[in-house]
Amino acid sequence: MHEREFRAFVLIAETGRMDVAARKLGYSQPAITYQVQRLEQSLGFKLFTRHPSGARLTGDGRMILPSVRAVLLLIDSMRDAHGSGAGEDRDLECSA
């Protein structure tokens, strides 16, 4: 799992729109869609239901949103503590 996938997930959840999230993050909409699909594949469940008017969190998506926000807060606080606010993407090694 990648930090950028988590950031895309949270921003889509907050805005309800993949195109808005893509614009805010500096990605194309297909790139954001791909990031969400990768995260969904990694987790094994759908995060959003897609509609012409936007995207809505699934029950599973609502359930993990607080945890994903906590992970991003931790990443940001580690960068702040280190004095490195650079937005470089880092892989998050997860083992089950």
Residues 2-8 have a mean pLDDT of 96
List alpha helices for 1-96, DSSP H: 3-15, 18-25, 29-43, 59-82
Domain ranges of the chain: 1-72
What's this model's pTM, rounded to 2 decimal places? 0.83
Residues 4-26 have a mean pLDDT of 97
CA–CA dist 53, 50 (Å, integer): 8
CA–CA dist 18, 28 (Å, integer): 9
Which fold does the domain 1-72 belong to in CATH? Arc Repressor Mutant, subunit A (1.10.10)
Helix axis angle for 59-82 and 3-15, nearest 10°, is 120
Question: For the segment 22-73, what is each residue's pLDDT rounded down to a tens digit?
Answer: 999 999 999 999 999 999 999 999 999 999 899 999 999 999 999 999 999 9
Q: Which residue has the tokens 């083992």?
A: 95
